[in-house]
Chain A
């Protein structure tokens, strides 16, 4: 058993959240910079230059990259051999994550975007609750990934229960169609997360988890899906939607596909789109 202090977890998670919403990661900056030179339309090139400038201003002024600082989503990989020291006055890890998130949003003047109820829509005032997904694994390490997920891009998500008779081409066409339908709404250039397999509930979790993959250009380790990612990115960047949907090549920066076992009668597919304000990060403790 390894003992881990919850105070330590709390301070690390809090600064992770603060960093993610203000500083665009190096691979995003690289991706935007690389694509900028390849844009044939001057307005597309200018748009990418403005996005890079936005990232510089946010870092310099210590303000959020985007006013939508998102819903807070954590993915936790929890080693079985960990023992938490409750030295921060909370009841445990979940409460620690929630409090670290709330404190980060309040102290950094981030926008609180959560409402208490889907129909009565009163703002909770502190961006709570964060969404926390748990996975358990052997060992004594703790990995906490965070994504600040904006509503505009989230609204462009799609889920479809295909049947086993459907070909990979049909599913790819549906994924591209999802990105085309989203158009300018999710602030392209986007990062496209795709889940395949699992069941109705896990497939959307897979699609969101696919967004966490770093570095951005990393392909799925299974060459079958790695090849699919490459084809999808090429097709998506052939649609002409372009940065901000104003026309151009760079509609997406990356497509990440994650697959999982599924029932022999099913073939679930889900797409979760994220914007260029791809605020993803992790701490390993």
Chain B
């Protein structure tokens, strides 16, 4: 069994470089959620030169919209949403300093190019694994657009949040390599 890598935010290039598509990562630190409507708002703020809800430099973005915090627990359930819907926004956010994104599903060729250019990681969290993932979340707090409800920007403090590297810094893509390795019988 290959041991997972441990990463802590803010992410450093030299810690991200050894990672390869398919590697397991346990992430500790701060991650910001942003999904469809939050991305629209962030894009508008950038276009108009307005202040941004959180520093993009070095940020890890989690494409997700959590369930509300239930009375009996410190957080609800949260897992990734489909990343492809955020593809139109990603290259600009990478150019402004976002270091990694977390979601599920493949990225467009244009996003993958931008990831390589700006040396950004793309990792998948367990899709539909929101109950399990919530065990690695220490706290959640709204930091922007509270009126968007589940689509607001939340800051999550996470410890050992389990992830799979999909796009590494060297052009690897596990959504292509994983199924190919299975088909070719080299597990």
In A37-76, the 8 Å CB interface with B consists of 40-44, 47, 50-51, 53-55, 57-58, 61-69
Number of interface residues of B (CB under 8 A): 51
B168: interface (CB < 8 Å) = no
Chain A neighbourhood of B126, CB < 8 A: 47, 50-51, 54, 244
> Would B77 and A58 count as touching, CB distance under 8 A?
yes
Contact digits for A181-221, partner B, Cβ 8 Å, 1 yes 0 no: 00111010000000000000000000000000000000000
Q: Nearest B residue to A58 by beta-carbon distance?
A: B131
Contact check, A65 vs B187: say whether CB atoms are below 8 A apart: no
Q: Which of A67, A150, A247 contacts B77 (CB 8 A)?
A: A67
Q: Digitize B34-69: 1 where CB-to-A-CB distance is under 8 Å, 0 elsewhere.
A: 000100000000000000000000000000111111
* Contact present for A57 and B135 (CB under 8 Å): yes
Interface segment out of the listed B9-17, B93-101, B108-116, B172-180: B172-180
Which residues of A lie under 8 Å from residue B128 when comparing CB positions? 51, 54, 65-66, 150, 187, 275-277
Q: Considering the chains assembled together, what is the distance between the CA atoms of A281 and B69 in angstroms?
A: 25
Query: Closest residue to A42 on the B side, CB-wise?
Result: B187
Q: Are A247 and B181 in contact (CB under 8 A)?
A: yes
Task: Kindly supply a per-residue 1/0 record for chain B positions 83-97, scoring 1 wherever the CB is within 8 Å of any chain A CB and 0 otherwise.
Answer: 010000000000000
Binds B, one of A3-11, A77-85, A108-116: A108-116
Q: Quote the shortest CB–CB distance from B124 to chain A (angstroms).
A: 7
Q: Are B82 and A67 in contact (CB under 8 A)?
A: no
How many angstroms from the CA of A221 to the CA of B73 in the assembled complex? 45
Interchain CB contact under 8 A, B130 and A109: no
Look across to chain B and name the residue whose beta carbon is closest to the beta carbon of A156.
Answer: B82
Given known pairs A44-B182, A58-B77, A247-B182, the reply for A50 and B175 (CB within 8 Å) is: no
Say whether A125 faces chain B, with CB atoms less than 8 Å apart.
yes
Number of interface residues of A (CB under 8 A): 52
Report the Cα distance A65→B37, complex, angstroms: 24
Could you tell me if B150 and A241 are in contact, using CB atoms closer than 8 angstroms?
Answer: no
Minimal beta-carbon separation of A197 from chain B (angstroms): 30
Q: Which of B1, B76, B104 is A244 in contact with, Cβ under 8 Å?
A: B104
Chain B positions within 8 Å of A248 at CB level:
178-179, 182
Knowing A43-B22, A123-B151, the reply to whether A109 touches B175 (Cβ < 8 A) is no
Whether A50 contacts B178 in the complex (CB less than 8 A), given A67-B65, A109-B68, A111-B65, comes out as no
Question: A residues within 8 Å of B by Cβ?
Answer: 40-44, 47, 50-51, 53-55, 57-58, 61-69, 108-113, 121, 123, 125, 150-152, 155, 183-185, 187, 239-242, 244-249, 275-277
Excluding A41-B181, A55-B131, A113-B150, 11 further A-B contacts by CB distance (< 8 Å) are A50-B162, A57-B131, A63-B131, A64-B77, A65-B77, A111-B65, A187-B128, A239-B179, A240-B183, A245-B106, A275-B128
20 pairs, A vs B, C-beta closer than 8 Å: A41-B181, A41-B187, A42-B1, A42-B187, A43-B187, A54-B131, A54-B132, A57-B131, A63-B67, A63-B77, A64-B77, A66-B131, A67-B67, A109-B70, A113-B65, A245-B106, A247-B179, A247-B180, A248-B178, A248-B182
